[in-house]
Structure 1
Amino acid sequence: MNGKHVTKLGFEKQAVGLALSAAHDREARGVSRSAILQELRDVQADPDAYLHDATYAPLASHLRAQAREAHARRGTALRTEPLPYDVWGAHLIDTAARMQMDTAMRLPISRAGALMPDAHVGYGLPIGGVLATEDAVIPYGVGVDIGCSMMLSVLPIQHGAVKTDEAVSLLKRHTRFGAGVGFERKAWRGHPVLDERTWQEQGLLRHLHGKASDQIGTSGSGNHFVEFGTFTLDQADLGLEPGTYLAVLSHSGSRGFGAQVAGHYTRVAEQLHRHLEGPAKKLAWLPLDSDDGQGYWQAMNLAGRYALANHDLIHARLSEALGVKPLAQISNSHNLAWKQHVNGQELIVHRKGATPAAAGQLGLIPGSMADPGFVVRGKGHAAALESASHGAGRQLGRKAAQAQVPKRDVQAYLQDRGVTLIGGGIDEAPQAYKRIEDVIREQRDLVDVVGRFDPKVVRMDTGNEDI
């Protein structure tokens, strides 16, 4: 047997070598050439049947992988026009974000989409973009900070009982911010999420378990925060009487663990869809029925649980330091993908910077370091894919904010609203964000406002230029 015999069967270059190796093994066992050629045809026809065959398993495995890649690439051509989608607060959204959403709606796997009023440019899918796909998940449709989320704890303490100096001290002792940071081991507290068997089911997750353990209960940089403030209810809800309460609000994600999961699977998706070009390149997807698709789905959901675990520990430490238990707690993720029925079909709904807002579902929509945030209850709007905004949304990029917003203006803004800031930078100035009241107004058909949180003492990571 030689390469010509095998090539005539239609094997490509890499498969030819594997087929020849198997053929030589069979020849050594006295099998005739005609019988070997028929066996090779059989492996071509049904590689799955030979995945455990002592001789043909390497060839079968290669052919199966080839078939999966061909299936994944089939239909990678973008639609000539984007599918229609609804936009909330269109006058608040810049053209670049609309163009990104248009690209996403041209993907062959896209089935429905929506753009929230806080939308602005992101990587791949815009922040504030909601995208439903069929049998596929887009790592950059979820985002780099997988599972980025919010949590509010309403405390059984009069809102003026904890003075500013005490709140500052509590935040400095019981929160940590920034890349790579963690708590000292003597202050470290575990969480059940770290004991899940899921960590042992992928080499990537096993490798990242130590990083996740080191950073549990901490927050990242950028727009992540932990705040003491007042929570106001105008009418009874959440199991609470109307009134004003002391509360803690936090915004955090899955830290370096989630970022590395996002980076790894984005590279896998981009390699799978090497022919995607321009803005579409960052929207490369993984078929959900593939090994990589299932691997990402598993890792993504673990990162989502890990992100919420960070909030659990932040709020537990602060509540314990104050000697209380929260009267009510609310949390939601806003960088994740969910399986959801849309128009009678199960699709994968990516919310990249968007709050789940199914009918009756509670969520949190913050403003900025000195602007209010809101507890909301979803209305289940079908055209919005049961979603709402995840915040106010940027109107200035980080570099633009640093160049255009004077420090004195930010300091005056904080002082006027009685906000004490620990850390933070000009890139996170309130002036860099849309007015949260405008954003809420534009989505009154998506959510009802339940209560209002006003920040008083805010901790963030140190910015590029401190305020």
Structure 2
Amino acid sequence: MKTNITGKELLDLGYPEGKVIGIALETVEQYFESNDIDQTSRALKSVLLKPEDFVNDKQLSAIAQELLKPKDDVLPLRDTPDLYKVYGAEGIEQGAVKQIEMAMRLPVARAGALMPDAHQGYGLPIGGVLATENAVIPYGVGVDIGCRMCMTIYDIPESILSERKDDLKKMLIRNTKFGRATFSRPKDHEVLENPLFNEIKLIGGLKDKAASQIGSSGGGNHFVEFGITEIEDPDNEFKLPVGRYLALLSHSGSRGFGGAIAQHYTKLAMSKCKLPHEARHLAWLDLNTEEGQEYWLAMNLAGDYASACHHQIHERMAVGLRATPVAMVENHHNFAWKEKDHQGNEIIVHRKGATPAGKGVLGIIPGSMTAPGYIVRGKGEESSINSASHGAGRAMSRTQAKNTLDKQAVVKHIHAAGVEVIGSGIDEAPMAYKDIKQVMESQKDLVDVVGSFQPQIVRMCGDDKFQEVD
């Protein structure tokens, strides 16, 4: 039985319209005799992502050669990348460097920077910052639009973490949902009454999904955790005495709502903005167009939705603790902002896995499930485009971590750190991440440290058992 891959499915995979669709269908008909659609899709996706690797492949060469042919309607890139700044270069993989250099060849690029936690992604690298002129790049924002950090600090002694540990663990399990899990009775929120749900067809079609997932968190590296915040700066904006406090820290984004927005407008950008194949994920939408304005509105709504999800998580915990937070700090790190450059010109600043660090701006930079995170105050460094890292950054890919790390060694490490983990997987092990202290040292010119956060009870995606590593 032959595969039944269709032209529409090829477009869904990311194939451009045109002759290559026909060539791909002929290739499938000729070489892929089994009914293993997943295998066929993987092969077609592989050649699409790196056609240069398949030029001499017996089965896929025709597709590869067509993808690599120069197209008349393709927008040219600059011959060489504009200058950009790198922080912590010794810890950044070459793939991320190549991606920022590709971005700096775009005709709309005005400035760029790589944060010390940078690693390879799609389009703009994670940890990449890119300023453009009047253009927004959906993959420069990222798939998880508005992914953010949120911390609440309580005037509760840290001893609660040992005295009421079981209560706090149960509180995390009852009041958080991860991945595909949602609350049986989600809370309402004013963000769901935004008029865009009635004005933009795509947004309207996603309202039920947004309503069902509100207050929950994604999978992967998203978490909700209790820990100890130590305020170190006596002149802190919270007006808190220097000392140690109970705190709750969460990390998540805009769930399936933001993901659907990202997918739709990325395809739209790639159809409108034809770039050379190797740069296709950097396709942009002009903000003077209807499509560009529509994405901008949708992106901002997704950011507001992500914030609402965090606030509901923290509200549930405050009720469980029977306490009112004395401070809250939060920030996006997958977003685009309208800002001014040093000459006063408006620029669109994409921070894909990067924390806003304008002068006096507060943010949170987490470590890992056993390493400290930091409350920071931006210094407004121009060369970083007012940005800092969004975390420690991965030292290993998820696949590499799963294939190389020993589960028992990971569990031993977590126990030694005095941390308890509920859920998670080996791909989120602490040793899969860079050294947060080295990352902070690499960006000491970008932020001042206001305080630190040490995780104690970590809740991540997984089943509802008290476990260290799933």
What is the TM-score with the length of structure 2 in the denominator?
Answer: 0.81
Distance in 2 separating the partners of 1:124 and 1:379: 28
The answer to whether the 8 A contact 1:75-1:108 is kept is: no
Alignment of 1:255-270 (within 5 A): 255-270=255-270
SS in 2 for 1:292: helix
Aligned-residue offset at 1:466: 4.3
Provide the C-alpha distance between the structure 1 equivalents of 2:276 and 2:299, rounded to a whole number of angstroms. 23
Is the Cα–Cα contact under 8 Å of residues 357 and 386 in structure 1 kept in the other structure? yes
Task: Write out per-residue CA displacement over residues 221-277 of structure 1, whole angstroms, 9 at most, x where no aligned residue.
Answer: 000000000001134322111111000000010000000000000000111123431
Distance 1:276 1:183 in 2: 44
Q: Return the alpha-carbon distance in structure 1 between the equivalents of residues 413 and 268 of structure 2.
A: 45
How far 1:294 sits from its partner (Å)?
A: 0.6
* Greater alpha carbon shift after TM alignment, 328-337 vs 159-168: 159-168
Deviation of 1:286 (Å): 0.6
Show the counterpart of 1:274.
Answer: 274
Q: CA deviation at 1:314?
A: 0.3
Q: Is the 8 A contact 1:276 1:284 kept in 2?
A: no
Whether contact under 8 Å (1:227, 1:455) holds in the other structure is yes
Q: Could you tell which deviates more after superposition, 91-100 or 269-278?
A: 269-278
1:297-336 to 2 correspondence within 5 Å? 297-336=296-335
Q: Describe how 1:375-394 pairs up with structure 2 within 5 A.
A: 375-394=375-394
Q: Could you tell me how far apart the structure 1 residues matched to 2:290 and 2:419 are?
A: 49
Alpha-carbon distance in 1 for matches of 2:249, 2:387? 21
- In structure 2, C-alpha distance between the alignment counterparts of 1:165 and 1:392, rounded to whole Å: 29
State the Cα deviation string for residues 385-409 of structure 1 (Å, max 9, x = none): 0000000000100000001111112
The answer to whether structure 1 residue 457 and structure 2 residue 464 are counterparts is no
1:355 match: secondary structure: strand
Q: Percent identity?
A: 52
Alignment correspondent of 1:118: 117
**What secondary structure is seen at the aligned counterpart in 2 of 1:461?**
coil
After superposition, the Cα gap between the structure-2 partners of 1:74 and 1:380, relative to the gap in structure 1 and judged at 3 Å, is farther
Q: How many residues align?
A: 390
Compare 322-331 and 188-197 and name the one that shifted more.
188-197
The residue that corresponds to 1:167 in the other structure is 168
Partner of 1:355: 355
Aligned letter for 2:398?
R
Deviation at 1:283, TM superposition (A): 0.5
3-state SS of 2:160 partner: coil
Contact 2:74/2:274 (<8 A) preserved: no
Map of 1:14 onto structure 2: none
Residue 225 of structure 1 aligns to which amino acid in structure 2? F
Cα drift, residue 197 of structure 1 = 1.2
| Shift, 1:457, TM fit | 0.3
Q: 1:88 to 1:275 in 2, by over 3 A?
A: closer
Q: Distance in 1 between matches of 2:195 and 2:323?
A: 32
Residue identity in the other structure for 1:444: K
Q: Does 1:411 align with 2:411?
A: yes
Where does residue 399 of structure 1 map in the other structure?
A: 399
d(CA) in 2 for partners of 1:235 and 1:94? 34
Shift of 1:441: 0.6
Output the CA distance in 2 between the equivalents of 1:160 and 1:121: 41
Q: Deviations over 1:400-422 (max 9, x none)?
A: 00011111121111111110000
Query: Which SS does the other structure have where 1:232 is aligned?
Result: strand
Distance 1:89 1:345 in 2: 28
Instruction: Give 1:205's aligned residue.
Output: 203
Tell me what 2:69 maps to: none
Letter in 2 for 1:440: M
Are 1:245 and 2:253 counterparts? no
**Alpha-carbon separation, structure 2, partners of 1:275 and 1:357:** 31
Mind listing any 5+ residue stretches in structure 2 that lack a counterpart? 1-71
CA distance in 2, matches of 1:189, 1:309: 10
2:213 pairs, out of 215, 222, 228, with 215
Provide the secondary structure at the position in 2 that maps to 1:359: coil
The Cα shift of 1:166 comes to 1.2
Larger radius of gyration: 1
The 2-side partners of 1:275 and 1:127 are apart by 21
Match of 2:444 in 1: 444
Which residue in 2 is equivalent to 1:42? none
SS at match of 1:289: coil
Distance in 1 of aligned mates of 2:299 and 2:75: 24
Gaps of at least 5 residues in structure 1 are: 1-72
> Equivalent residue for 2:43?
none
Q: Conserved in 1, the CA contact under 8 Å of 2:75 and 2:274?
A: no
State the distance in 2 between where 1:161 and 1:466 align. Answer: 24
C-alpha distance in 1 between matches for 2:382 and 2:428: 33
Q: Is the 8 A contact 1:89 1:442 kept in 2?
A: yes
- Tell me by how many angstroms 1:74 deviates: 8.6
Structure 2: distance between partners of 1:137 and 1:260: 17
